[in-house]
């Protein structure tokens, strides 16, 4: 039996992944390498929706690749590639744009939030069509599963809608992918404002743990995380969003269950608990940071991994694109 396919991606919008990117998405990528055929894409074209200096963008793309490898993406078991290295993404992206309605694209929360923040004059058309390119990313590989954070659920739904529309108009061409979202950690919150998602575009960096930041800075951020009234370490998202977020983070990093951690901290205070979260952070991300720094010293190996990945991805992408073109009636 052929293994199921997994596709996921991450933008190269910053020097560092944040804790939410890892705990919500990349953490799932690693075990899926056993038993699934995994395609992991650095969505560098999506990154162009934010204006970035070319030298900075290049550094971020390589930095993202190195961090993914350090976190456990294994190029012998996964196809790791740049979106811009597989031209079929743009080609199928155009077809998705021609299938999507203006109304449904306008209802995408990410577009509404980001365009409201930056205003009409500074919002690029690419932000509006972002979900259609993302749909192409996924459908090209006939993915069964898409491991992402909770904030991406709507984009996976529109991907399914577009695939269903195409299949019913032109004949079965695309597999319908399922979002694969963790129950614990699918949404990691900002440490200073635990009712908002931890996000690269947060107004203040104080509540965002960037994994490539110095360990001292991150320990300080964890220790000054907003906590709630009371003293007990217990999970209650409504009454104790700050402590609940830290419990989720601690559980995800140590593999302990939230109820076990609650038990371990019975009678102890917030200070002790934050120290434990910081220790768990250091134990996990200290080596990842060191490994990333060392991988970045060998740029030619990184480039080779990405090129090999793109060549493999192109073969699969081309099969799907050809079949979509011919179903549409485009003359080959």
**115-126: buried (b, 16+ CB within 10 Å) or exposed (e) per residue?**
beeeeeeebeee
Applying CB under 6 A, the site for ligand AQP has a residue count of 21
Instruction: State whether residue 197 is helix, strand or coil.
Output: strand
The Cα 121–Cα 119 span in angstroms is 6
* 238 annotated active-site: no
The Cα 75–Cα 78 span in angstroms is 5
Find, among 285, 207, 320, the residue nearest to 26 by Cα: 285
**Which residue in 127, 188, 191, 305 binds ligand AQP (CB under 6 A)?**
188
Tokens of 2: 């052929």
Q: What is the strand order of the sheet 5-10 is part of?
A: 78-82, 37-42, 5-10, 145-147, 178-180
* 183 annotated active-site: no
**Which residue in 5, 6, 7, 20 binds ligand AQP (CB under 6 A)?**
20
The Cα 301–Cα 331 span in angstroms is 40
DSSP state of 121: G
CB of 97 to ligand AQP, least distance (A): 19
**Which residue in 200, 223, 268, 312 binds ligand AQP (CB under 6 A)?**
200
Find, among 115, 67, 96, the residue nearest to 213 by Cα: 67
CB of 25 to ligand AQP, least distance (A): 3
Stretch that binds ligand AQP, among 8-16, 33-41, 219-227, 296-304 (CB under 6 A): 8-16
Q: Which of residues 292-311 bind ligand AQP (CB under 6 A)?
A: none
Q: Are 75 and 309 in contact (CB under 8 A)?
A: yes
Find, among 180, 152, 146, the residue nearest to 38 by Cα: 146
For 195-202, which contacts have Cβ atoms below 8 Å and span 24 or more sequence positions? 195/241, 197/20, 197/151, 198/18, 198/19, 198/20, 199/18, 199/20, 200/13, 200/14, 200/18, 201/114, 201/117
Stretch that binds ligand AQP, among 19-27, 215-223, 263-271, 286-294 (CB under 6 A): 19-27
CB of 319 to ligand AQP, least distance (A): 26
* 114 annotated active-site: yes
DSSP string spanning 222-253?
HHT----SSS----BTTTBHHHHHHHHHHHHH
Query: What element of type H or E holds 176?
Result: none
Pick between residue 115 and residue 327 the one whose CB is nearest to ligand AQP. Answer: 115
| Catalytic hit among 114, 223, 268, 291 | 114
Stretch that binds ligand AQP, among 66-74, 163-171, 191-199, 260-268 (CB under 6 A): 191-199
Pick between residue 78 and residue 173 the one whose CB is nearest to ligand AQP. Answer: 78
Pick between residue 197 and residue 268 the one whose CB is nearest to ligand AQP. Answer: 197
Question: Per-residue contact track with ligand AQP, 23 to 62, x per CB under 6 A?
Answer: -xx-----------------x-------------------
Q: Which of residues 211-250 bind ligand AQP (CB under 6 A)?
A: none
The Cα 51–Cα 53 span in angstroms is 7
198 binds ligand AQP (CB under 6 A): yes
Question: Per-residue contact track with ligand AQP, 141 to 170, x per CB under 6 A?
Answer: -------xx-xx------------------
CB of 263 to ligand AQP, least distance (A): 26
Using CB under 6 A, list all residues that contact ligand AQP: 10-11, 13, 18, 20-21, 24-25, 43, 148-149, 151-152, 186-188, 197-201
Show which residues are catalytic: 114, 197, 200
């Amino acid at each position: 039996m052929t293994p199921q396919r997994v596709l996921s991606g991450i933008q190269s919008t910053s020097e560092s992944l944040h804790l939410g990117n890892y705990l919500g998405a990349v953490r799932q990528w690693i075990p899926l390498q056993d038993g699934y055929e995994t395609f992991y894409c650095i969505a560098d074209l999506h990154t162009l929706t934010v204006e970035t200096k070319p030298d900075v963008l290049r550094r971020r793309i390589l930095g993202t690749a190195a961090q993914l490898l350090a976190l456990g993406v294994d190029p012998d078991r996964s196809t790791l590639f740049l979106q811009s290295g597989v031209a079929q993404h743009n080609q199928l992206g155009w077809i998705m744009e021609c299938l999507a309605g203006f109304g449904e694209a306008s209802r995408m929360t990410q577009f509404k939030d980001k365009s409201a923040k930056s205003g009409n004059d500074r919002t690029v058309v690419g932000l509006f069509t972002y979900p259609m390119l993302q749909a192409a990313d996924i459908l090209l590989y006939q993915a069964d599963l898409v491991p992402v954070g909770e904030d991406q659920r709507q984009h996976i739904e529109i991907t399914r809608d577009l695939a269903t529309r195409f299949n019913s108009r032109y004949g079965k061409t695309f597999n319908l992918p399922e979002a694969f979202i963790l129950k614990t950690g699918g949404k990691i919150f900002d440490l200073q404002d635990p009712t908002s998602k931890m996000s690269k575009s947060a107004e203040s960096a104080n509540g965002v743990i960037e994994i490539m930041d110095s360990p001292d800075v991150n320990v300080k951020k964890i220790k000054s995380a907003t906590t709630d009234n009371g003293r007990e370490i217990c999970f209650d998202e409504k009454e104790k969003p700050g402590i609940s977020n830290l419990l989720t983070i601690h559980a995800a990093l140590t593999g302990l269950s939230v109820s076990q951690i609650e038990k371990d901290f019975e009678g102890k205070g917030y200070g002790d608990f934050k120290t434990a979260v910081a220790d768990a952070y250091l134990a996990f991300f200290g080596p990842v940071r060191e490994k990333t720094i060392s991988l970045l010293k060998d740029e030619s190996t990184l480039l080779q991994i990405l090129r090999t990945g793109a060549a493999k991805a192109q073969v699969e992408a081309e099969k799907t694109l050809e079949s979509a073109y011919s179903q549409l009636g485009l003359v080959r």
